[in-house]
C-alpha cells in the first residue's frame, strides 16, 4: 500500500527532490550550529581577536538567514506537494465515480462518496505534506544530534537521552487525549449541524405546531455540548504545550547542572557545555515531529485505503475491446430471451422476448414494480442483461461502444434533473455545442417559448438550487427541449406525464407527440390517455409480457389491460 501511496509522488518528483534536499540542508545547519557556538567559545574567544570574532558573527548571521530561507522553502514546497497530490487524487476519484455504472450508485450512499472526496482526502493530504520527508529527517536529526553529543561527552549524552522516553510517553499520551477530544468535538458539531438541518428543512412543521421555543432549547443544548467538547480539546492542548515546555526546561536544567559539575571537574569545556544545552532543543524537536506523524499516519493511511477501495472498483459496464462505433441507428430493437436481476435474490425479468420496429411507438403498461423501467434501462446498457441478448438493428448492444450507443437514445423521466446554471445551459445539456438558433428552436418545439419570454433574464435566468424553481411541467418541457436538441433515433419516455395536471399534460402530450415523430419510441405510462395513439401496447406483469396488441384490440380482448383500463375510466 505504501508503494501505491508513493506512486502519487511520481508526477511531482522535482518538487519532492527540492523539498527534500532543502530539508536535509536545514537539518545539517541545525546540527552544525551548536558546534559552531562551541568552537566560537572555546577557540575563538580566548584569542581575543576582535576582527575575527566580528567576521565569524557575520558569517553565522548569513548562515542563519540561509537556513530561514530554506525553512520557508521546505514549509511552502512541502505543503504544495501535499496539496498537489490531494488535488490529483480528488480529480481521479471524481473521474472514477463519474464513470461508474448504475449498480454502483444503487449500492453507494451519496454522503459516503462525498466524505471520500473531502474528509478522507484531507487526511491523506495532511499526511502527504507533513509526510515521509519530515519523518526521515526527524530520525536523521535525532541520531545525528545524539551521535555528536556522545562524541563530546558520553556520560552527559546518556543523561540527556535518558529523559527522552519520558518525553515520548508524554507526547504520545497527549496525542491520544487530543485525538479523543477532537473526535468528540466532531461528533458534537455534527449534532449541531443536524439540528440546523432538521429545523430549517422542517420549519413548516415546527411553526405549524408552534414549537419554535422547543427547537431553540434543543439547539441551545447541543450548541452548549459543542462548547464543552471544544473547551476540553483546548484544555488538553494547553496542557500538552505547557508540559512539553516544562520537560524541555527540566532536561536543559539537568544537563546544565550535571554539565556544570563536569566543567568544574575539568571534564567539559565551557563551549561544550553551551553546545550541549543547545543540542537539547535539536534533540527534542524531532521527537515532537515523529509523534505527530505517528498520529497522522494511521488516519491518513485509513483514508488512503478507503480511497483505494473506491478507485480499484472497475466500472461494471465497459466497452468490449472490439466494440463498434455505431451511428444513425434505425432503431429496430429486439429482446431475445432476456433474463435480468438486480441482485442474486430475485429475478426481475425472466425470458422476455419482444421487438420494437424502427419508427414504431410502443407503450408499456402494467402494475407498478412489474419491470417496465427495468426493461427500458437495459436498452442504453445502464445494466447488462443477466442472460439472453438485446440487439438494435441486428447488432448486440454489448458489441457497440457505450458512448455511441447512448448517443442514439434519449430518455425523458418523470423527475427531471436540472443543473445549477442558466435556462440556456440546461437546455444545451442535450447538445453542448448548440447554436442560439438551435436552442430557441428546441424551446419552441417544447412549448417553452412563452414561459422563457416571461422570465426576468430570459434564457440567461439562473435556475436550480440557488435560482428559479421550476414546476413539474416546466421541468418536463425543458427535458423535452433537451431531447429535440439531442435528436436521437430512439426515445424512451418513462412515466413522463404521470404527475401533471390535465392542462399541462395536454401541452406536454403535444410536444411529446411531435418529439416521437420519426423515432422509435418506448412510452411507459400510467395514464391511458397518453398511449391511445401508440402503434402497439405491451402489458408487462411480473410474469412477463402478458398481452400485446393495439389499444382498441386490448380493450376488446377483455383481459388485464381491459381491467386496468376500466379502473381508470370508471
Summarize as ranges the residues that interact with ligand ADP (CB under 6 A). 106, 342, 348, 368-374
Least Å distance, CB 430 to ligand ADP, is 24
Q: What are phi and psi of 411, to 5 degrees?
A: -125, 125
Q: Which is nearer to ligand ADP, 240 or 541 (CB)?
A: 541
The Cα 281–Cα 36 span in angstroms is: 15
Q: Are the beta carbons of 392 and 398 closer than 8 angstroms?
A: no
Backbone angles phi, psi at 377, to 5 degrees: -80, -5
* Number of residues written out for the chain: 570
Q: Which is nearer to ligand ADP, 345 or 466 (CB)?
A: 345
Which of ligand ADP, Mg ion, none binds 361 (CB below 5-8 Å, type-dependent)? none
CA dist 451 and 426 (Å) reads 15
CB of 178 to ligand ADP, least distance (A): 44
Instruction: For cell 445494466, name the residue.
Output: 383
The residue among 202 and 369 lying less far from ligand ADP, judged by its C-beta, is: 369
Choose between 369 and 458: whose C-beta lies nearer to ligand ADP. 369
Q: What residue ranges bind Mg ion (CB under 5 A)?
A: 373
- Residue 105 CB, nearest distance to Mg ion (Å)? 17
Q: Which does 369 bind (CB under 5 to 8 A by kind): ligand ADP, Mg ion, none?
A: ligand ADP
For the record, the C-alpha cell of 17 comes out as 527532490
Residues 6+ apart with CB under 8 A from 174: 236, 239, 240, 243, 244
Taking CB within 5 to 8 Å according to partner kind, which of ligand ADP, Mg ion, none is near residue 374?
Answer: ligand ADP
Set of cell numbers at residue 180: 479523543
Q: Decide whether 330 or 542 has the Cβ nearer to ligand ADP.
A: 542
Residue 482 interacting partner from Mg ion, ligand ADP, none (CB closer than 5 to 8 Å by kind):
none
Give least dist CB 370 to ligand ADP, A: 4
47 binds, options ligand ADP, Mg ion, none, Cβ within 5 to 8 A by partner type: none
| Phi, psi for 476 (deg, rounded to 5) | -60, -45
Q: What angle do CA 182, 184, 189 make, to 5 degrees?
A: 90
Nearer to ligand ADP, 101 or 175 (CB): 101
Assigned C-alpha cell, 101: 455504472
Contacted by 106, from Mg ion, ligand ADP, none: CB < 5 to 8 Å by type: ligand ADP
What count of other Cβ atoms lies within 10 Å of the Cβ of residue 405?
A: 24
User: At which residue does the C-alpha cell 561527552 appear?
Assistant: 153
Q: Choose the contact partner of 348 out of ligand ADP, Mg ion, none; CB within 5 to 8 A by kind.
A: ligand ADP
Chosen from ligand ADP, Mg ion, none, partner binding at 291 (C-beta under 5 to 8 Å by type): none
Cβ proximity to ligand ADP: between 255 and 370 the closer is 370
Q: Which does 476 bind (CB under 5 to 8 A by kind): Mg ion, ligand ADP, none?
A: none
Q: Which is nearer to ligand ADP, 12 or 372 (CB)?
A: 372
E strands, 424-477, where?
462-463
The cell for 309 is 477501495
Nearer to ligand ADP, 470 or 524 (CB): 524
Closest distance of CB 522 from ligand ADP, Å: 12
Residue 379 near residue 351, CB atoms below 8 Å: no
Q: How far apart are CB 2 and ligand ADP at their closest, in Å?
A: 38
Find the shortest distance in angstroms from Cβ 355 to ligand ADP.
20
Cα 506 to chain centroid distance, Å, stands at 42
Rounded Cα gap, residues 511 and 505, in angstroms: 10
Q: What is the 3-state secondary structure (H, E, C) of 15-72?
A: HHHHHHHHHHHHHHHHHHHHHHHHHHHHHHHHHCCHHHHHHHHHHHHHHHHHHHHHHH
Minimum separation from the CB atom of position 372 to Mg ion (A): 5
Query: Does residue 408 come out as left (phi exceeding 0), alpha (psi in the -120 to 50 range) or beta?
Result: alpha
Amino acid at each position: 500500500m505504501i508503494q501505491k501511496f508513493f506512486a502519487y509522488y511520481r508526477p511531482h518528483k522535482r518538487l519532492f527532490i527540492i523539498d527534500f534536499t532543502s530539508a536535509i540542508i536545514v537539518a545539517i545547519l541545525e546540527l552544525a550550529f551548536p558546534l559552531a557556538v562551541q568552537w566560537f567559545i572555546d577557540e575563538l574567544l580566548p584569542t581575543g581577536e576582535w576582527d575575527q570574532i566580528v567576521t565569524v558573527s557575520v558569517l553565522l548571521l548569513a548562515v542563519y538567514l540561509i537556513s530561514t530561507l530554506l525553512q520557508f522553502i521546505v514549509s511552502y514546497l512541502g505543503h504544495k506537494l501535499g496539496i498537489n497530490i490531494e488535488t490529483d487524487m480528488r480529480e481521479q476519484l471524481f473521474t472514477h465515480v463519474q464513470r461508474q455504472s448504475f449498480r454502483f450508485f444503487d449500492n453507494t450512499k451519496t454522503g459516503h462518496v462525498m466524505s471520500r472526496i473531502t474528509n478522507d482526502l484531507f487526511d491523506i493530504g495532511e499526511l502527504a505534506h507533513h509526510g515521509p520527508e519530515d519523518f526521515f529527517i526527524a530520525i536523521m536529526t535525532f541520531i545525528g544530534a545524539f551521535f555528536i553529543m556522545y562524541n563530546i561527552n558520553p556520560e552527559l549524552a546518556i543523561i540527556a537521552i535518558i529523559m527522552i522516553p519520558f518525553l515520548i510517553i508524554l507526547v504520545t499520551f497527549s496525542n491520544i487525549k487530543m485525538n479523543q477530544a477532537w473526535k468528540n468535538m466532531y461528533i458534537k458539531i455534527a449534532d449541531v449541524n443536524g439540528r440546523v438541518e432538521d429545523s430549517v428543512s422542517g420549519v413548516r412543521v415546527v411553526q405549524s405546531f408552534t414549537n419554535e421555543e422547543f427547537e431553540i432549547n434543543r439547539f441551545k443544548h447541543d450548541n452548549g455540548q459543542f462548547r464543552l467538547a471544544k473547551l476540553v480539546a483546548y484544555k488538553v492542548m494547553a496542557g500538552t504545550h505547557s508540559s512539553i515546555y516544562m520537560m524541555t526546561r527540566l532536561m536543559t536544567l539537568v544537563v546544565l547542572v550535571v554539565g556544570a559539575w563536569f566543567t568544574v571537574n575539568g571534564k567539559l569545556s565551557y563551549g561544550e557545555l553551551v553546545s550541549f544545552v543547545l543540542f537539547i532543543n535539536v534533540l527534542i524537536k524531532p521527537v515532537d515531529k515523529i509523534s505527530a506523524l505517528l498520529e497522522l499516519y494511521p488516519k491518513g493511511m485509513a483514508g488512503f485505503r478507503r480511497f483505494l477501495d473506491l478507485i480499484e472498483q472497475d466500472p461494471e459496464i465497459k466497452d468490449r475491446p472490439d466494440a463498434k462505433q455505431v451511428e444513425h441507428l434505425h432503431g429496430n430493437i429486439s429482446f431475445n430471451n432476456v433474463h435480468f436481476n438486480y441482485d442474486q435474490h430475485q429475478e426481475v425479468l425472466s425470458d422476455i422476448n419482444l421487438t420494437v420496429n424502427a419508427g414504431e411507438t410502443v407503450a408499456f403498461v402494467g402494475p407498478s414494480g412489474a419491470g417496465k423501467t427495468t426493461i427500458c434501462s437495459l436498452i442504453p446498457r445502464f445494466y447488462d442483461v443477466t442472460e439472453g441478448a438485446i440487439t438494435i438493428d441486428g447488432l448486440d448492444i454489448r458489441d457497440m461502444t457505450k458512448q455511441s450507443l447512448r448517443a442514439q437514445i434519449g430518455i425523458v423521466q418523470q423527475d427531471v434533473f436540472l443543473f445549477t446554471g442558466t435556462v440556456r445551459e440546461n437546455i444545451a445539456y442535450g447538445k453542448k455545442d448548440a447554436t442560439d438558433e438551435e436552442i430557441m428552436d428546441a424551446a419552441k418545439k417544447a412549448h417553452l417559448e412563452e414561459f422563457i419570454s416571461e422570465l426576468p433574464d430570459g434564457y440567461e435566468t439562473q435556475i436550480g438550487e440557488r435560482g428559479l424553481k421550476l414546476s413539474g411541467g416546466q421541468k418536463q418541457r425543458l427535458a423535452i427541449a433537451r431531447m429535440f436538441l439531442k435528436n436521437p433515433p430512439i426515445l424512451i419516455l418513462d412515466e413522463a406525464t404521470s404527475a401533471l395536471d390535465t392542462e399541462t399534460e395536454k401541452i406536454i402530450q403535444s410536444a411529446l407527440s411531435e418529439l416521437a415523430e420519426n423515432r422509435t419510441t418506448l412510452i411507459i405510462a400510467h395514464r391511458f390517455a397518453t398511449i391511445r395513439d401508440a402503434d402497439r401496447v405491451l402489458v408487462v406483469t411480473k410474469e412477463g409480457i402478458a398481452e400485446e396488441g393495439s389499444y382498441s384490440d386490448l380493450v376488446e380482448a377483455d383481459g388485464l389491460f381491459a381491467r386496468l383500463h376500466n379502473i381508470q375510466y370508471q
